[in-house]
Chain A
Amino acid sequence: MEPMLSIKNLTKRFGGLTAVNQVSMDVHPGEVVGLVGDNGAGKSTLIKMVSGVYQPNDGDIFFEGRRVHISRPSEARELGIETIYQDLALAGNLDVGANIFLGREHKRAYLGGLVRVLDDRFMQAQSEKLLVDLDVHIPSLRQKIDKLSGGQRQAVAIARAVYWNARLMIMDEPTNNLGVAQQGEVLSLIRRLRDQGVPVIVISHTIRDIFAVSDRIVVLHRGHKVADKRVTETSHEEIVQYIMGARDDYRSN
Chain B
Amino acid sequence: MTAARKPDEDRGEDPVELPPQPIEYSSTTSIRGPLIVVEGVEGIGWNEVAEIRLANGEVRHGVVLDVHLDHAIVEVLEGTAGMRLDGVRTAFGGGPMSVPVTEDWLGRVCDGRGEPLDEGPPILGSRRREITGTPINPAVRIPPSEPIITGISAIDGLATLVRGQKLPIFSVGGLPHLELAAQIAVQADVAGEPFAVVFAALGVTHADAASVRQTLEARAGEREAVLFINTADDPVVERLMTPRLALTVAEHLAFECDRHVLVLLADVTNYAEALRQVSAARGEVPTRRGYPGYLYSDLASLFERAGRMRDRAGSVTLVPVLTMPAGDITHPVPDLTGYITEGQLVLAKDLHARGVYPPLDLMGSLSRLMRRGTGAHLTREDHPELSDQLYALTARALQAAELAEIVGADALPAADQRLLTFRATLEREFLSQGQEEARTLETTLDLGWQVASQLPAAELTMVSRQTLAARYRAKEGDAAHGHVR
A and B physically associate: no
A residues sitting closer than 8 Å to B (CB atoms) are: none
